[in-house]
Amino acid sequence: MLDIKFLRTNPDIVKENIKKKFQDEKLPLVDQVIELDKQFREAKQKGDDLRMQKKQLSKQVGKWIASGEVAGPEEAKARIAEENAKIDAEMEALGKSEDELQAEIRKIMMVIPNIIDPSVPIGKDDSENVEIEKFGDPFVPDFEVPHHVDIMKRLAGIDKESAARTTGEGFYYLMGDVARLHSSVLSYARDFMINRGFTYYIPPYMIRSKVVTGVMSFAEMENMMYKIEGEDLYLIGTSEHSMIGKFIDTILPEESLPQTLTSYSPCFRKEVGSRGIEERGVYRIHQFEKQEMVVVCKPEESPKWYDIMWQNTVDFFRTLDIPVRTLECCSGDLADLKVKSCDVEAWSPRQKKYFEVGSCSNLGDAQARRLQIRVQGEDGKKYLPHTLNNTVVAPPRMLIAFLENNLNADGSIRIPVALRPYMGGQEVIPVKE
């Protein structure tokens, strides 16, 4: 969410930014919110004037008596009471108007997109994202690479049919070595991030609505979040939600920055409008687990942390012998809160293309403003920090890339050296079928 003062003084910049994001339908909102803000400030000023009038009333008694406007103290008291009642009624009406205007301003400000970084490429959708760099050499083996579910089945590692009966489409049972591989990847990701100086967290898996609206847009919430019936609680779609929410309504001492956190959580997503939710694969599903990284830092340090964070993910995947590339998200592919974002994509030998396995985002001060996260500077002044988040790894989606890139001709799976301690020293997952 933008600062209303910035929008008020820079409406043309805000409108140009909306055009760059191809959201022209939001252009009228800028003038609308400026007019509402004007009305709000006028109402607030009038309220201040009325409060001042109330304070001055008692000072009028002597003047009224001296000028003969009132017969005496009793009549003066009655007149003050009458004037106070009028002022109170007017102030009550003004207060209600202020609340309504403030609510409407916030509602509009929540859908006006954040100002994107100048380096973001301009494009309408993800088809216009720009490749930045490749890491590792993509290859296609000289034998057929089966569908990832078929690979898992040959390892006796997945049962989607039973999950469909117990829960529905978009769920799965992982079993045996594949289940252990899944857990091992997460354990390795945890230690990988701890070794890079991040503090490990296991966060709440449910959050209140005020946290939800603080960390994401309304459209994202509607399409992603599962609501707990009868309670003000939502299942998290990613641990970033509760990790950023951890700082809601707090004032952080400047010396505590940067806050560098890494968290494990299950994630739950409705995936409304997503294609392929009922396909037999595990690329897009309703429930998965994830290792996340979150940074809260000084505004001037967020570009540096952005680069550190996506590089962490690249380094993690390369230790598992998976070729990856980074893709700069264009303006039209950025969620409204994001200033800048890039995807990390893993190579699929079967599909002979890259696919997304993680996303790194700099959200500027948008989340901090929504959640009232502030920093107490050394000079005593308060300011809003920047927040960033990035996926370390999100199996089972990541397992698709892992299985395809570490597949042997006989259907067994190589275990990279970095992962072997978490697999009990196992070097190969053998075919069970």
pLDDT at 193: 98
- Residue 183's contacts (CB-CB under 8 Å, 6 or more residues apart) are 422
The Cα–Cα gap between 117 and 17 comes to: 10
Q: Characterize the bridge pairing of strands 413-414 and 428-429.
A: antiparallel
Q: Which residue has the higher pLDDT, 60 or 409?
A: 409
Topology given in CATH for the domain delimited by 4-109:
Helix Hairpins (1.10.287)
Q: Choose the weakest-confidence range: 62-66, 124-128, 165-169.
A: 62-66
Does residue 299 contact residue 324 with C-beta atoms inside 8 Å? no
126-429 and 4-109 share a CATH fold: no
3-state secondary structure of 119: coil
Q: Quick: pLDDT tens for 163-178.
A: 889 998 888 899 999 9
Binning pLDDT at 50, 70 and 90, where does residue 34 land?
very high
Does residue 115 contact residue 366 with C-beta atoms inside 8 Å? no
Q: Choose the weakest-confidence range: 186-190, 219-223, 292-296.
A: 219-223
pLDDT at 72: 62
pTM: 0.88
**Is the domain 126-429 a CATH 2.30.30.30 member?**
no
Binning pLDDT at 50, 70 and 90, where does residue 249 land?
very high
Does residue 146 contact residue 350 with C-beta atoms inside 8 Å? yes
For residue 197, pLDDT beyond 80 = yes
Helix or strand holding residue 13 (H, E): helix 11-20
3-state secondary structure of 179: helix
What are the extents of the domains in the chain?
4-109, 126-429
pLDDT at 178: 95
Does residue 248 contact residue 211 with C-beta atoms inside 8 Å? yes
User: At residue 365, what is the residue type?
Assistant: D
pLDDT at 60: 65
Q: Quick: pLDDT tens for 362-380.
A: 999 999 999 999 999 999 9
